[in-house]
Structure 1
Amino acid sequence: MTRAMDMTAPAKTHALPAGHPPVAFGRIGVLLVNLGTPDGTDKKSMRRYLEEFLTDRRVIEVPRWKWYPVLYGIILNVRPARKGKDYDTIWNRERNESPLRTFTRSQAEQLQGRLADLAGVEVDWAMRYGNPSIAERMDALKAKGCERILVYPLYPQYAAATTATVNDKVFEYLLKQRWQPALRTVPPYHDDPAYIDAVAGSIESHLATLDWEPEVVLTSFHGIPQSYFAKGDPYYCHCQKTARLLRERLGWDKDKLKITFQSRFGPEEWLQPYTDKTVEALARSGVKRIAVATPGFVSDCLETLEEIAGENAEIFRHAGGEKFSHIPCLNDSAPGVDVIEAVVRRELKGWV
Structure 2
Amino acid sequence: MIRRAIVLFNLGGPDSPKAIQPFLNNLFSDPAIIGLPSLFRLPLAKFISKRRTGIAQEIYTHLGGKSPLLDRTLEQASALETVLRKEYPGDDVSVYVCMRYWHPMTPEVMADVISFDPDQILLLPLYPQFSTATTQSSLLDWIKTAKRKCLKIPTYSICCYATLEKLAVAQADILNRVLDGVSDKGKTRVLFSAHGLPKKIIKRGDPYQWQVEQSAQLIAEAAGLSDAKWCICYQSRVGPLKWIEPSLEQELKRAAKDGAAVVVLPVAFVSEHSETLVELDIEYKDVAERLGVTEYHRVPAVGTHPIFIEGLKEIAVSAFEQQVELRSFKELRCCPSKYDKCPSRLSGHY
Instruction: State if a TM-score over 0.5 links the two structures.
Output: yes
Q: What residue identity is the alignment partner of 2:169?
A: D
- Hey, what does 2:109 align to over in structure 1? 137
In the alignment, structure 1 residue 35 sits paired with structure 2 residue 11: yes
Q: Give the direction of change, closer, same or farther, for the CA distance of 1:138–1:71 in structure 2 (3 Å limit).
A: closer
Deviation of 1:79 after TM superposition, in Å, equals 0.9
Q: Matches of 2:9 and 2:245 in 1, distance apart?
A: 27
Q: Residue 257 of structure 1 corresponds to which residue in structure 2?
A: 230
AA of the residue aligned to 1:49: F
Q: Which structure 2 residues correspond to residues 132-211 of structure 1 after superposition, within 5 A?
A: 132-211=104-183
Q: Deviation digits for residues 261-320 of structure 1, max 9, x if unmatched?
A: 11111111111101122213321x142411100121010111111111111111111011
- CA displacement, residues 303-348 of structure 1 (integer Å, 9 cap, x when unaligned): 1111111111111110111310110010123233223222222222
Contact 2:198 2:244 in 1 (8 A): yes
Of 245, 264, 273, 2:246 maps to: 273
CA contact (8 A) 2:84 2:93 kept: yes
Matched, 1:51 2:20: no
Deviation at 1:173, TM superposition (A): 1.1
Aligned counterparts of 1:178 and 1:236: Cα–Cα separation in 2: 35
Q: CA deviation at 1:57?
A: 0.7
- Aligned residue for 1:81, secondary structure, equals helix
Looking at structure 1, the residues matched to 309 and 302 of structure 2 have their Cα atoms a distance apart, in angstroms, of 8
Q: 97-106 or 342-351: which moved more?
A: 342-351
| C-alpha deviation, 1:56, in angstroms | 0.5
Q: After superposition, give the CA deviation of every residue in 1:118-163 in whole Å (9 maximum; x if it has no partner).
A: 1222111121110111221121111111132101111111100011
- Distance in 2 separating the partners of 1:278 and 1:169: 36
Structure 1: gaps (5+ residues): 1-5, 8-26
Structure number with greater Rg is 1
In 1, Cα distance between the equivalents of 2:29 and 2:45? 8
Rounded Cα–Cα distance in structure 1 between residues aligned with 2:205 and 2:181: 41
Q: Which residue of 1 aligns with 2:210?
A: 237
Residue equivalent to 1:108: 77
* 2:296 corresponding residue in structure 1: 324
1:68: how far off? 5.2
| Equivalent in 46, 53, 57 of residue 84 of structure 1 | 57
Provide the residue aligned with 1:227 in structure 2: 200
SS at match of 1:331: coil
What amino acid maps onto 2:120 in structure 1?
A: R
SS at match of 2:6: strand
The amino acid across from 2:103 in the alignment is N
The residue aligned with 2:319 is: 347
- 1:120 partner letter: D
> 2:255 touches 2:261 (CA, 8 Å); kept in 1?
no
- Within 2, Cα distance between the matches of 1:246 and 1:253? 11
Preserved CA contact (<8 Å) 1:288 1:320: no
2:272 aligned with 1:296 = no
Structure 1 residues 62 and 125, CA gap change in structure 2 (3 angstroms): same
- Tell me how many residue pairs correspond in the alignment: 319
For the residue of structure 2 that corresponds to 1:219, the secondary structure is strand
Q: Distance in 1 between matches of 2:60 and 2:285?
A: 17
8 Å Cα contact 1:280/1:315 also seen in 2: no
Q: Partner amino acid for 1:112?
A: E
Give the partner amino acid of 1:154.
L
- Partner Cα separation in structure 2 for residue 247 and residue 336 of structure 1: 16
Q: Contact conserved, 1:224 with 1:271, CA < 8 A, in 2?
A: yes
Which residue of the other structure, out of 98, 110, 122, is the alignment partner of 2:94? 122
Distance 1:194 1:296 in 2: 15
Contact 1:194 1:342 survives alignment (8 Å)? no
Corresponding residue to 1:334 among 292, 306, 314: 306
Paired residue secondary structure (1:115): helix
Q: Name the counterpart of 1:310.
A: 282
Task: Calculate the aligned-residue CA RMSD, in Å.
Answer: 1.9
The letter of the residue matching 1:47 is Q
Give 1:210 deviation, angstroms: 4.2
Aligned mates of 1:257, 1:116 — CA distance in 2: 39
Identity of aligned residues (%): 25
SS at match of 1:232: coil
Deviation by residue 1:198-217 (Cα, 9 ceiling, x = unmatched): 11122112222445536111
Read off the aligned partner of 1:251 and give its amino acid letter: G
